[in-house]
Amino acid sequence: MDILTRLENGEELDASTLAKLYQYDLFTLGEIADQRRKSLYGDKVFFNINRHINPSNICADVCKFCAFSASRKNPNAYEMNLDEILKIAQNAHNKGAKEVHIVSAHSPNYTYQWYMGMFKEIKAAFPSLHIKAMTAAEVDYFSRRFGKSYEEVLADMAEHGVDSMPGGGAEIFDESVRKIICHGKVKSNEWLEIHSLWHKMGKYSNATMLFGHIENHEHRIDHILRLKKAQESNLQGGFNAFIPLLYQRENNYLNVKSFPSAQEILKTIAIARILLTNISHIKAYWATLGLNLALVAQEFGADDIDGTIEVESIQSRAGAKSASGVELAELVYKIKDAGFRAIERDSLYHELKEY
């Protein structure tokens, strides 16, 4: 029996069998994914007005795919102080941002108290601003560096104003790939454990997957299945969105020779929608896909495009055309021009406004 029928019959299949989904043509996968997406959200495309803040690019870890952290390929090390960060949050708030997405390199220079205090000051100054901050990789780094358990770090984050966690640091869960691309950083089981502990606190987070580098189809499916399993055991809280991040190739140390075609990228998004029946949202992150492909992806299973971002430093350092974010008017125009309804959401996917 073919794999799609077996899936429809509710059979549980392993990653090597499911990897054969890539052998289907794009439109077969796209059709099923689009039906699922439409039955949930019709022709709505979700986005938010957000501001990315990356306090420092000085990093104790060395991920081969990363062009953001200060190194020989990026000699411009920087470290923001609290005033700078508060000014950015103030500006973003004035411009209508509902979320600050704060992710930093693993800088050995910030103290635990300073970092937690930064969240507290932002929350005190702008109580309505949702703070999405601290990847599981940062939680793990803080835990190792300051001798605290994951539980302690997560409890302190919540106490100091962090509302939800972003999905970064997941990369590819397969240990053999991880060893090559980000040896030394948070391990797959630790990443999953940190999110699970956060969910047990009744909190929400996202989950990413970095794809299009040295991994194969089975590694991607394995990654998706591990997330699905983790979400199954959540009694409260959980993953809001799955975000496949397309690898950007410039200014980094990963020696990749071939890159996925648009068909391959869209298949990955469609397969995610088909398999991840328990994660509500699939985000086609425009900063890695480009706005045009991210909009096409909305017909292949995605329902979200991320937001205005304002300043983007991680993917743009590696070649993406996302350094200055996107103007709200342009984002809305493009969503509507592609035939969708442009729905501004908050960080937890409550609908705020239709444009």
The answer to whether 325 contacts ligand V47 (rule: CB under 6 A) is: no
Query: Which parts of 36-103 are beta strand (E)?
Result: 44-48, 50-53, 99-102
Strand-pairing partners, residue 245, are 210
User: Segment contacting ligand V47 (CB under 6 A): 25-33, 38-46, 239-247, 335-343?
Assistant: 239-247
Q: Is 314 in the site for ligand V47 (CB under 6 A)?
A: yes
Q: Is there binding between residue 208 and ligand V47 (CB under 6 A)?
A: yes
Using a 10 angstrom Cβ sphere, with 0-12 exposed, 13-18 middle and 19 or more buried, the burial of residue 274 is buried
* Nearest-5° Cα angle at 309, 157 to 243: 70
Instruction: Answer whether 233's CB lies under 8 Å from 282's CB.
Output: no
For residue 169, give both structure tokens: 């640091």
In terms of CB distance, is 169 or 238 closer to ligand V47?
Answer: 169
Residue 102: strand, helix, or coil: strand
Q: Give least dist CB 204 to ligand V47, A.
A: 10
d(CA 206, CA 164): 8
Instruction: Answer yes or no whether residue 308 interacts with ligand V47 by CB under 6 A.
Output: no
Q: Which is nearer to ligand V47, 34 or 171 (CB)?
A: 171
Order of strands, sheet of 238-246, starting from the edge strand that comes earlier in the sequence: 204-211, 238-246, 281-282
**Exactly one of 171, 174, 222, 299 binds ligand V47 (CB under 6 A); which one?**
171
The token duo for 89 is 């949050």
Site string for ligand V47, 258-287 (x = CB under 6 A): ---------------------------x--
Asked if 288 is part of the footprint of ligand V47 (rule: CB under 6 A), the reply reads: yes
Neighbours of 144 (CB within 10 A): 12
Number of residues located near ligand V47, criterion CB under 6 A: 23
* Closer Cβ to ligand V47, 161 or 325, answer by number: 325
Q: According to CB under 6 A, which one of 67, 92, 129, 270 is a site residue for ligand V47? A: 67
Q: For ligand V47, which residue of 306, 332, 335, 344 counts as binding (CB under 6 A)?
A: 306
Residues within window 143-162 making contact with ligand V47, judged by CB under 6 A: none
206 binds ligand V47 (CB under 6 A): yes
Q: Is residue 318 involved in binding ligand V47 (CB under 6 A)?
A: yes
Phi-psi region of 14 (alpha: psi -120 to 50; beta: other; left: phi over 0): beta
66 binds ligand V47 (CB under 6 A): yes
> Phi and psi for 238 in degrees, rounded to 5?
140, -175
The H or E element containing residue 137 is: helix 136-146
How, if at all, do strands 99-102 and 50-53 pair? parallel
Does position 192 bind ligand V47 by CB under 6 A?
Answer: no
- Which is nearer to ligand V47, 154 or 245 (by Cβ)? 245
Q: Considering the rule CB under 6 A, would residue 172 count as an interface residue with ligand V47? A: no
Angle at 307 between CA 304 and CA 312, to 5 degrees: 125
Is residue 312 within the footprint of ligand V47 (CB under 6 A)?
no
| Tokens 């089981």, residue located | 189
Stretch of residues binding ligand V47 (CB under 6 A), selected from 31-39, 108-116, 241-249, 290-298 = 241-249
Instruction: Tell the burial category of 153 from Cβ atoms under 10 Å away from its Cβ (0-12, 13-18, 19+).
Output: buried
Question: Under the criterion CB under 6 A, does residue 167 sit at the interface with ligand V47?
Answer: yes
Least distance CB 136 / ligand V47 (angstroms): 9
Task: Write out the residues near ligand V47 by the rule CB under 6 A.
Answer: 65-67, 103, 166-169, 171, 206, 208, 210, 243, 245, 247-248, 252, 285, 288, 306, 314-315, 318
